[in-house]
Amino acid sequence: MSKWTATKIKGMKGQQKISCLTAYDYTMARLVDQAGIQLILVGDSLAMTMLGYATTLPVTMEEMLHHTRAVVRGVREALVVADMPFMSYHVSPSQAVKNAGLFIKSAGADAVKVDGGAFRVPTIRALVRNGIPVLGHIGLTPQSIRSMGGYKVQGRKPDDALRLIEDAVALEKAGVFAIVLECLPKALGKDITKAVGVPTIGIGAGAGCDGQILVIHDMLGLQVEEAPKLTFVKRYANLGATTSQALKKYRREVEKGIFPANVHSF
């Protein structure tokens, strides 16, 4: 299989559902890539899953670049998209081009993701004009969590739904190759998918989207503390509990002198 590109992902609309996941390090990226996942997002969610922050807002460019480089080293085929962190593209299109350029040139990413609707069009146009593929993101955008007042489903009211459809159309015209739709009613996710000619990638936006993405820690059950119930997440494994059991067993065997046995010694 050849390397996935933004152009190939864009061409999948109406042809095949697109599978996407987050990854933040070499080992997990290697596993995700080997599973045939087409798009890997180095999400700013690493602020919470890898660095222990309460929200995505504190993560820095330096931290995102560091993790993106690790993911890129583990990938052979998937499209690697780097999530541009809070305030790395908000000031001006020129700031966005400079920082996005670092993800492409320095970290080796294939594309970047930016949050926001129609108001983000000048920034997206500047990025695309400079040869940087862009993944859009509308609906619940965690970088705007302060103004949204929490993690809430978006687009329930008719006016809000219409605005999100208009946002998606504007992003398509600006040149994005796909759009993430987060936490929307499934009917709205389907309507937006029909309204645009680029793929939609849903996360809590229903089966009508062209593809799906999840945070890998959520779908593998890798949380180290009690996680909030996310109705849109399907847990495919419970690796947190499995890992915890293995660690406790290791500790007990060391304490009792069971490990290392002769077979583990020279």
The pLDDT of residue 54 is above 90: yes
The pLDDT of residue 230 is above 80: no
Read off the pLDDT of each residue in 178-185 and give the average, rounded to a whole number.
98
* CB-neighbour burial class of residue 164 (10 A; exposed 0-12, middle 13-18, buried 19+): buried
Instruction: List the one residue out of 18, 25, 17, 77 whose CA is nearest residue 46.
Output: 25
Read off the pLDDT of each residue in 2-30 and give the average, rounded to a whole number.
98
Task: Tally DSSP H helices, then E strands, for the chain.
Answer: 11, 8
Only one residue has tokens 């690493």, namely: 46
Instruction: List the one residue out of 214, 146, 198, 249 whose CA is nearest residue 8.
Output: 198
| Active-site annotation holder among 62, 182, 226, 253 | 182
182 is catalytic: yes
Read off the pLDDT of each residue in 206-226 and give the average, rounded to a whole number.
93
Only one residue has tokens 């007990």, namely: 252
| 223: confidence class by pLDDT, cuts 50, 70, 90 | confident
pLDDT for position 218: 96
Q: Which tokens hold the place of 94?
A: 């020129």
pLDDT for position 177: 99
Read off the pLDDT of each residue in 55-84 and give the average, rounded to a whole number.
98
At 237-258, the pLDDT tens digits run: 999 999 999 999 999 999 999 9
Contact at 8 Å (CB) between 84 and 76?
no
The pLDDT of residue 36 is above 80: yes
pLDDT for position 150: 79
Read off the pLDDT of each residue in 140-149 and give the average, rounded to a whole number.
89
| 229: confidence class by pLDDT, cuts 50, 70, 90 | low
Read off the pLDDT of each residue in 117-130 and give the average, rounded to a whole number.
98
Read off the pLDDT of each residue in 58-79 and give the average, rounded to a whole number.
98
What is the three-class DSSP state of 5? coil
CA separation for the pair 168, 13 (Å, rounded): 15
pTM for the model: 0.96
The pLDDT of residue 149 is above 70: yes
| 147: confidence class by pLDDT, cuts 50, 70, 90 | confident
Read off the pLDDT of each residue in 210-216 and give the average, rounded to a whole number.
98
Give the percent of the chain with pLDDT over 70. Answer: 98
Read off the pLDDT of each residue in 136-143 and give the average, rounded to a whole number.
96
Contact at 8 Å (CB) between 199 and 4?
no
Read off the pLDDT of each residue in 196-215 and give the average, rounded to a whole number.
98
The pLDDT of residue 191 is above 90: yes
Q: Mean pLDDT in the chain?
A: 96
Better-predicted residue by pLDDT, 214 or 1? 214
AA identity, residue 188: L
| 145: confidence class by pLDDT, cuts 50, 70, 90 | confident
Instruction: List the one residue out of 229, 208, 202 whose CA is nearest residue 218.
Output: 229
The Cβ of residue 9 has, within 10 Å, a number of other Cβ atoms equal to 26
Please, which residues bridge with residue 20 across strands?
Answer: 39, 213
pLDDT for position 172: 98
Read off the pLDDT of each residue in 225-242 and give the average, rounded to a whole number.
85
Contact at 8 Å (CB) between 43 and 81?
no
pLDDT for position 151: 82
